[in-house]
Amino acid sequence: MEFKDVLYKRQSIRKFTDQEVKAEDLEQILDAARVAPSGDNRQNWHFVVVRGSELKEKIRQAIEDRNEAIAALVEPKDPERAARFRKFAKHFAYFFVDAPVLIVTFTNIDQPSGAREYRIAGIGQEEIDKLYLRSPGLQSIGAAVENMTLRAVDLGYGSCWLTGSNYAAEQIAEVLKEAGFEKEGYFIANMLALGVPQPDPKSPPKKTFEEIVTYL
């Protein structure tokens, strides 16, 4: 597939067929993440591949339980907001259970360039915090996950990059810990649902070129 076609065909897929993701294809998709650019070449990522339906269901349940716990606290103060939060999870947080593969991305806290020098120079914490606002480590994670989404399209698959369930990240990490995975100092950044898309997937429109570009 031409690279331009890969770029324009990529979209968030939330409905998948039952077709499995071939092991060799999955390896190529993950390897695309491996070669992504990262700040100071730190390669601050680790990917956990979940294929079993039982484990995916446990992750889904962890998200649902956390969603309900938050909604229950919100409800007395803003019932409409609580209802919207429950509805959001129902429509956008649980569909990954039906994806053949779920990839959970872990990362660590990446000290931005200049932070060490700021401390030595005696520059205040407020200015140091501004360096972290740019999140160089998470920018690196974004590059890795984008590589996976594009390689997936190139191989005939679709994916959905999930960050909406990050409010349950600690609970998801606990499920994975019980399943045998734990990496000290790392935390969940996002998840990626992966599989063969059902026919004719729909996507919302993108902003126009003029809306996002300024020439000086």
CATH number of the structural domain spanning residue 127:
3.40.109.10
Spell out where the chain has E strands. 46-50, 101-108, 158-162, 186-195
The answer to whether residue 203 is domain-embedded is no
The answer to whether residue 94 is domain-embedded is yes
If one counts the domains in the chain, the total is: 1
The answer to whether residue 134 is domain-embedded is yes
State pTM to two decimals. Answer: 0.94
The answer to whether residue 205 is domain-embedded is no
Query: Which domain, by its residues, includes 32?
Result: 3-198
pLDDT by residue, tens only, the chain of 216 residues: 899 999 999 999 999 999 999 999 999 999 999 999 998 899 999 999 999 999 999 999 999 999 999 999 999 999 999 999 999 999 999 999 999 999 999 999 878 889 999 999 999 999 999 998 888 899 999 999 999 999 999 999 999 999 999 999 999 999 999 999 999 999 999 999 999 999 999 889 999 999 999 999
197 touches 95 (CB < 8 A): no
